[in-house]
Amino acid sequence: MTMTRALIGAALTASLFITPAAAQQAAPLEVPAKSVPVPSDVSPQMQKIIGMPLRTNWDIHPKDGAAWKPVAEAGAEALKKLVPGMMERLHVKVERTTIDGVRAFIVTPEQMRPENRDRVLVHVHGGCYVLNPGEAGLPEAIFMSGFGGYKVISVDYRMPPEAVYPAAHDDAMTVWKAVTKTTDPKKTAIFGTSAGGALTLAMVMRAKQEGLPLPAAIAPGTPMSDTTKVGDSFVTNAMLDNVLVSPDGFCDDGAKVYAAGHDLKARCCRRSTGTSGTSPHHPDDGHPRPAALEHRAGPSSAPRRRCRGLSPGWRRSVARPIHPRRHRPRDQGRLRGNRRFLRQASGAIGRLERPPRDQDPEPDRISDPAQGSRKPDTQ
C-alpha cells in the first residue's frame, strides 16, 4: 500500500512539470466512432432537450459586427416573446434602468424573502459576446430571481457592432462599482453563463487588481473562459453539444468579432497606458496598482497587461502572484493556510514517507519579500 501511494504521489508530482510544449507535441488520441445515449437519470423534459437535433445555424460565420446584428436581432426577437410568460409564472417584475450610463434591468420577486431583502445579485448574460441583447438576456436573471427570491441586476452590456472588446467587461464593472456603493459587498454575488461566466471570473480578477470590494459569492456557469481551443472538451463535445455544436462554429466567430483583432492567446488582451504597471482606471497617486497578469510567454521586461475579460485564464492565473507588492505581512496567514490545505489534500492519496518534522534537517520555508525567508509556523 505504501509503495502504491508513493507511485501515485510521484506520478502526480511529475505531471506538474510537464511543459506546455511537451503537451502540444503529444500525439492525439484516436477514438473509434460510437453512439452516445441520452441519459436516463434526468427528467423527461431534460432528456428531450439533450436529445434535440443540432441547432440549424451553428455553422454560420459572420465576420463583423454589422453581419452579426441581424443574427442577434432575429434570435432576440424569439427569446423576448418568452419573457412575459416567464415573469408571470415566476412572479417577478422587470424594470429597465440605466446605471452610470450602462443599460441594465432590475429583476425583483413579487414577494421578497426576508433573508434576501438586503441582498443584490449582479447578472451578466451569455451569448458569445454578440448575442442576446436587451430582454433576450433576461431568462437566467428571471430564473434566479423567481426561484431564489433575490433582487437581480442584469447588465445589458454593449456588443458589436455598437462596441467591441473590452466594452462588455467595462460595462459590467461600472455596474459592479455602483452596486458596491449602495450595498454591503458581503451581501452581493455575481453570476452568468457562457460569455457571462467568463465575465464573472474576469470581474472578480479585475476587482482584486484594482482594490475594489469583492462579492460574497460567484456562480460562473460553463464559463467561456478560454477562447483558444486548448482544452480537450472542445473536441470531446464536438457534434454532441447541440447548442454550440463545434469549436469552429458560430460562437468562435462571435468571440473573434468581439475581440476586434486582439490576440486571443494573451490572457490579458489590452495593454495598459505605459509600462509602469499603473492601472489607467486609477489616478497615479504615487502608489502603482497591481498591473494585470503578464503574458506567461513574455520576458519580464515586457509591458504589463490589464485583464479585461476576454480569456481570463482563470485556472492558471489565480495561483500566480500578480505583483510583488501583493505579498505583504498580512498575507502570511493566507500562505500558511494554503500550505496546510495542500498537505491535507495530499493525504487523500497518501503521503510520501518523510521523517517527522523534528527530525527534518531542512523544513520548508516561506519566502516573503517584506520579511525575508523564514520557517512556516507549526500547527
Can you tell me the distance from the alpha carbon of 81 to that of 103, in angstroms, rounded to the nearest whole number?
20
| 4 grid coordinates | 502504491
In the chain, the percentage of residues whose pLDDT exceeds 70 is 63
Q: 332 or 56: which carries more pLDDT confidence?
A: 56
CATH number at residue 115: 3.40.50.1820
The residue behind cell 467591441 is 164
Question: For 169-211, what is each residue's pLDDT tens digit?
Answer: 999 999 999 999 999 999 999 999 999 999 999 999 999 999 9
Does the pLDDT at position 156 exceed 90? yes
pLDDT of residue 243: 92
Q: 187 or 319: which carries more pLDDT confidence?
A: 187
In the chain, the percentage of residues whose pLDDT exceeds 90 is 56
Does the pLDDT at position 297 exceed 60? no
Total number of domains constituting the chain: 1
Query: Does 139 fall in a domain?
Result: yes
Helix ranges, the chain (H): 2-15, 20-25, 44-50, 65-80, 83-90, 139-148, 167-182, 195-209, 233-236, 250-259, 314-317, 332-346
Does the pLDDT at position 303 exceed 60? no
Query: Does 117 fall in a domain?
Result: yes
Q: 311 or 62: which carries more pLDDT confidence?
A: 62
The residue behind cell 438586503 is 118
Q: Collapse the DSSP code of 44 into the 3-class scheme (helix H, G, I; strand E, B; otherwise coil) and give the result.
A: helix
pLDDT of residue 12: 60
Query: Does 130 fall in a domain?
Result: yes
Query: Does 368 fall in a domain?
Result: no
pLDDT of residue 1: 57
Contact 273, 280 (CB under 8 A): yes
Does the pLDDT at position 359 exceed 60? no
pLDDT of residue 6: 59
Query: Does 180 fall in a domain?
Result: yes
Q: 164 or 361: which carries more pLDDT confidence?
A: 164
Query: Does 166 fall in a domain?
Result: yes
**CA geometry: angle 85, 89, 90, nearest 5 deg:** 115
Query: Does 165 fall in a domain?
Result: yes
Query: Does 219 fall in a domain?
Result: yes
pLDDT band at residue 299 under the 50/70/90 scheme: very low
pLDDT of residue 54: 95
* Listed range (12-16, 139-143, 202-206, 334-338) with the worst mean pLDDT: 334-338
**CA separation (Å) from 318 to 72, 202, 205, 209?**
34, 11, 8, 11
Quote the domain boundaries for residue 233: 55-259
Give Dmax over CA atoms of the chain in angstroms: 71
Question: For 46-103, what is each residue's pLDDT tens digit?
Answer: 999 999 999 989 999 999 999 999 999 999 999 999 999 999 999 999 999 999 999 9
Mean pLDDT of the region 310-333: 37
Can you tell me the distance from the alpha carbon of 134 to that of 359, in angstroms, rounded to the nearest whole number?
65
- The mean of the pLDDT values for the chain is 75
Does the pLDDT at position 320 exceed 50? no
Q: 271 or 114: which carries more pLDDT confidence?
A: 114
Q: 75 or 227: which carries more pLDDT confidence?
A: 75
pLDDT of residue 229: 85
